[in-house]
Amino acid sequence: MHTVFRIDEIRKLDNESSLYQVDLKLTSDEDQQLRQLTENILEGASHETCWSRLGILLLKIGQYSKAEKLYTALLEQISNDSTRATIYNNLAVLKDQQGLHQEAASFCEKSLEIRRKTLQGDHPSLATSYHNIAGVYYNIGDYSKALEFYEKALKIREKALPPNHPDFAQSSNNIGGVYNNMGIYSKALEFYEKALKIFEKALPPNHPDLATSYNNIGGVYRNMGDYSKAPEFYEKALKIFEKTLPSNHPLLASSYNNIGGVYSNMGDYSKALEFHDKALKIREKTLSPNHPDLASSYNNIGEVYHHIRDYSKALEFYEKARKIIEKTLPPNHPSLAISYGNIGQVYNKMGDYSKALQFYEKDLEIKKKALPTNHPDLAIFYINIGVVYQNMGNYSKALEFYEKAHKIFENALPSNHPLLATLYNNIGTAYFGKGDYSRALSFLEKALVIFQKSLPPNHPDIQKVTDVIAYVKKRM
């Protein structure tokens, strides 16, 4: 093993200068964790040339510009079809990670064209091409196409690889991601857990792919409203990323972003902002100024400001996100719908109902095209529209939209999901507006029961519903 150090401690020398002292600890051949990780990385690139291995390593540590220069130079020197297909494939991965999805698609097609001509239909390298094309479709929000290509890759890998091979886990992981974005959380969890079982057997305990698997499972639990389970998996991921990745790696930013999201869901907005700021600092340093992940950070920070009722700040960050998404993603991408929905919510809170409806209509136009009719995000749209009508005093219209949301949530979410409680709260206040106090109380009490089960006891939503229930009882 070559000379490798662990960073033991980093200290600033004094407050006046920008000099730091870094204490390094020399590792040895007896360092089992380092040996396992090194062997796994080498095994993953064992079929590559020395230069290709370097490119893969640069990709893994987020050095995209250096990797691209290397791959471009290799393409000028290499005539072998198999190697060229591999380089095109790696360039597709690189461009996809940079958020340049159309360029990624072009490289995927070049790689696939070569492999279809030179390989048999069940060759593992063909599965890699299908997998990468699926990734591009996933990132542009075409989930049915993504699922189609991920399943093609999985069928080849099921025939060609042993059941505990990391590539087999990767396929399961990605199919889980598609189901998660389609709002089919039970299926997402099923595939994510398949992947995790393989990764835990096949990879060393500090491998970044294992951390990604933990992150994915945490994300499903968060979407299902299980805020006690989600942080458990997010924290496991963060520990691995902090040990194995550079401090400015995009995956570390994603990890901070996820933890910030859970704190936001739990009502701890100062903690949420702290983690979202950490993610944003990394992304601003390492990503292009119009990268979709940067838009995600702006959206998340905007959401925190929205919760603490700083609507001008919320709008500022939501607008930053929208500008990036409109430039970089297709006009029917679900992320653009979310962006329009967020801006609509702020205008609603500010009392500008016509502006709110204008953005909600844009939101709906995309969601109807991009999402299945029973997707939870469609229900969230109906809730948002209902809130606008409720604020305008049109309680019957509000209840009409709340009922549409209720039908979706009943089928798509667990019975104790906080979003269901939010809906019951809104239905209750709408009935209160109509003067139907007994029905109002019934829905508000349902909301309170769910909030008390699913949220920490000091969450602001619990206090809000408790206060409204007390007020309704007085009016009765």
Q: What is the DSSP letter of 25?
A: E
CB 451 within 8 A of CB 428: no
pLDDT by residue (tens digit) across 421-473? 999 999 999 999 999 999 999 999 999 999 999 888 889 899 999 999 999 99
Burial class (CB in 10 A: 0-12, 13-18, 19+), 279: buried
Cα–Cα distances in angstroms (integers) from residue 473 to residues 431, 438, 460, 467, in the given order: 13, 9, 20, 10
CA distance 286 to 282: 6
pLDDT by residue (tens digit) across 204-222? 898 988 999 999 999 999 9
Closest CA to 89 of 102, 70, 74, 106: 106
Q: pTM for the full model? A: 0.68
Examine the pLDDT at 234 and tell me if it is beyond 70.
yes
CB 360 within 8 A of CB 352: no
pLDDT by residue (tens digit) across 71-130? 888 888 877 888 888 888 788 888 877 777 778 888 888 888 888 888 887 888 888 888
CA distance 43 to 132: 20
Q: What is the mean pLDDT of residues 349-371?
A: 90
CA distance 461 to 370: 31
pLDDT tier for residue 141 given thresholds of 50, 70 and 90: confident
Name the residue with higher pLDDT: 209 or 26: 209
pLDDT tier for residue 323 given thresholds of 50, 70 and 90: very high
Domain 389-476 fold? 1.25.40
Name the residue with higher pLDDT: 126 or 398: 398
Residue 9: predicted pLDDT = 61
CB 263 within 8 A of CB 269: yes
Examine the pLDDT at 51 and tell me if it is beyond 90.
no
Q: What is the mean pLDDT of residues 292-302?
A: 95
Centroid of chain to Cα 42: 29
Closest CA to 211 of 146, 258, 154: 258
127 backbone φψ class: left, alpha, beta (φ>0; ψ -120 to 50): alpha
